[in-house]
Chains A and B, each alone.
Chain A
């Protein structure tokens, strides 16, 4: 009897971890399109997650149908991505990194301060979730397969794209943009396209995250979220969509592992949190230095010298 009880308690936990990992996998696929395939450094990916989540929830709260709210969130995330690309993508490569990291912070301050719109640090409750009234019992048992389905569709659509002539142009930009330019490709336009599409994917992941969280506040969108995506991408292998998904699942397996380890270590929860991010930083350095192709990437396809 007791053993059965434990199993029943573990299952929702495992489902929850898999659900979060799937949402982050989608979020990371957006970054992989930007960094892995195009070579764009976006350090503010979390901004688009936040834009997607807040737009969906706030619009739905004010009476807009759920599906339209999600579409609006995705569109707004894409629009912001494109707007950030315009002043930066024709200039030095590191300007995008600087501008995106700043943008993400400003979005977070905006969410914290504009209480008339976002209710500030109090956060907002999600008023409705897809098919909620039709699902008996634990909603996550429905949401997980739903998100998994979205992940698979995103993966398939992206794979189709990166293996197409469009993806070939992105890869050529990643290596040396003089070449596509000398062959008549509008490099700037392709970079914007990659940034917009990557941001839209992050925006969609934001809507899904809101459905899971049921209640969102600015603390859900701290800068570190961006670097969870970075770890997923570089660990799995930059420019490899399967690798990115694998990376996201490994990351969340690691997080749930450390949650169990917490009881055995003499550190406070704050220290454990710091250790976890410290480890993320270290891992990022070590992968870029010693295994830049990640777990599934091919060394021959990786550009390190740009």
Chain B
């Protein structure tokens, strides 16, 4: 059973078809890249999968459940977490608070628990802080934990967003241009780290990743499989080498120009 399968999804905005019968399948534990020229419908596809936009037609099945038309928070609760192209770090919260926001179903998210079970809330918060610090340490952001996220650079905000998504312990990640603005050495480290997350020995823990990226060399290096989108449709797919050799892909990128 695939982790995510998108079947024949259509979406138009005011007569313009952003997605025109888009279908793809992602196997559990895979790292799948999505490429395509500007306006190919990549970000729209992400918005629809993550519930920020409703599809006009078509089905989306995640982990055996139909999620087409579900609210974004419901999809996130099922373990499908996205990041944003323009990073949405919460600039008025500290770096640490940004990460602590993420874990699901915290005791302290209920009013009564805050007042009546302060000990449980505190204990869980302490566990989350430990986890957050470990992530920040790895990303080299630990020294900034008490800074407001608004003070971070664009690249640091991207990192913060990925870290925040990982705080949820997701089954699957949707990363929208995760390397844009991140310095190359760090980007390489993240790349290795994402692979490591996927390859975790316990099979159930391995994360499935779907990633939009313009940095071709990095995407080729990272992905097991690539889908090429153009004009709201999948025009080619395959292993990175195959896609690189595909004429239609070259045409889509260069033909229109």
Q: Do any CB atoms of chain A lie under 8 A from CB atoms of chain B in the complex?
A: yes
- A115 within 8 Å of B (CB atoms): no
Q: How many residues of A contact B (CB 8 A)?
A: 29
Contacting residues of chain B (101-134) with chain A, CB-CB under 8 angstroms: 101-102, 104, 106-111, 114-115, 118, 121, 125
Query: A160-B114, A166-B108, A168-B101 known; A182 and B76 CB under 8 Å?
Result: yes
With beta carbons under 8 angstroms apart, the residue of B93, B121, B164 that contacts A171 is: B93
- A185 within 8 Å of B (CB atoms): yes
Chain A residues within an 8 Å CB radius of B148: 300-301
Identify the stretch in A172-180, A265-273, A281-289 within 8 Å (CB) of chain B at 4 or more residues: A172-180
- A161 within 8 Å of B (CB atoms): yes
Chain B residues within an 8 Å CB radius of A169: 101, 109
Alpha-carbon distance between A302 and B125 when the two chains are bound, in angstroms: 24
- B230 within 8 Å of A (CB atoms): no
Contacting residues of chain B (186-205) with chain A, CB-CB under 8 angstroms: none
Contacting residues of chain B (48-70) with chain A, CB-CB under 8 angstroms: 50, 52
CB <8 Å contact, B92 and A197: no
- A262 within 8 Å of B (CB atoms): no
Residue of A nearest to B77 (CB): A184
With beta carbons under 8 angstroms apart, the residue of B76, B93, B108, B121 that contacts A183 is: B76
Alpha-carbon distance between A187 and B101 when the two chains are bound, in angstroms: 13
CB <8 Å contact, B109 and A183: no
Residue of B nearest to A197 (CB): B111
Chain A residues within an 8 Å CB radius of B106: 165
CB <8 Å contact, A165 and B150: no
- A140 within 8 Å of B (CB atoms): no
Chain B residues within an 8 Å CB radius of A301: 92, 148
Identify the stretch in B3-11, B27-35, B81-89 within 8 Å (CB) of chain A at 4 or more residues: B81-89
Chain A residues within an 8 Å CB radius of B118: 160
CB <8 Å contact, B50 and A182: yes
Q: How many residues of B contact A (CB 8 A)?
A: 38
Chain A residues within an 8 Å CB radius of B165: 183
Alpha-carbon distance between A161 and B90 when the two chains are bound, in angstroms: 19
Q: Mark A180-206, 1 if CB is under 8 A from B, else 0.
A: 111111110000010001000000000
Alpha-carbon distance between A210 and B125 when the two chains are bound, in angstroms: 41
Q: Mark A154-173, 1 if CB is under 8 A from B, else 0.
A: 00010011001110110110
Alpha-carbon distance between A182 and B84 when the two chains are bound, in angstroms: 9
Chain A residues within an 8 Å CB radius of B111: 161, 166, 193, 197
Instruction: Say how far B52's CB is from chain A's closest CB, in angstroms.
Output: 7
With beta carbons under 8 angstroms apart, the residue of A161, A183, A302, A303 that contacts B101 is: A183
Query: A166-B110, A166-B114 known; A185 and B92 CB under 8 Å?
Result: no
With beta carbons under 8 angstroms apart, the residue of A166, A175, A181, A186 that contacts B91 is: A175
Chain A residues within an 8 Å CB radius of B253: none
Task: Classify the secondary structure of A's interface with B.
Answer: helix
CB <8 Å contact, A160 and B115: yes
Residue of B nearest to A157 (CB): B115
CB <8 Å contact, A175 and B93: yes
With beta carbons under 8 angstroms apart, the residue of B88, B114, B164 that contacts A161 is: B114
Q: Which of B72, B84, B97 is packed against the most chain A CB atoms within 10 Å?
A: B72
CB <8 Å contact, B93 and A168: yes
- B73 within 8 Å of A (CB atoms): yes
Q: Mark B201-214, 1 if CB is under 8 A from A, else 0.
A: 00000000000000
CB <8 Å contact, B115 and A168: no
Instruction: Say how far B90's CB is from chain A's closest CB, in angstroms.
Output: 5
Query: A172-B93, A185-B73 known; A165 and B125 CB under 8 Å?
Result: yes
CB <8 Å contact, B92 and A183: no
CB <8 Å contact, B92 and A303: yes
CB <8 Å contact, B92 and A168: no
Query: Can you report 30 residue pairs joining A to B where beta carbons are below 8 Å apart?
Result: A157-B115, A160-B114, A160-B118, A161-B111, A165-B107, A165-B108, A166-B110, A166-B114, A168-B101, A171-B93, A175-B93, A176-B90, A178-B52, A178-B84, A178-B88, A180-B73, A181-B71, A182-B81, A182-B83, A183-B81, A183-B104, A183-B164, A184-B73, A184-B74, A184-B77, A184-B81, A185-B73, A185-B101, A197-B111, A303-B92
Give the A-binding residues of B (Cβ under 8 A): 50, 52, 71-74, 76-77, 81-84, 88, 90-93, 97, 100-102, 104, 106-111, 114-115, 118, 121, 125, 148, 150, 164-165, 168
Pairs of residues from A and B, 8 with the lowest C-beta to C-beta distance, nearest first: A165-B108, A184-B76, A184-B77, A164-B114, A181-B72, A164-B108, A165-B106, A300-B148
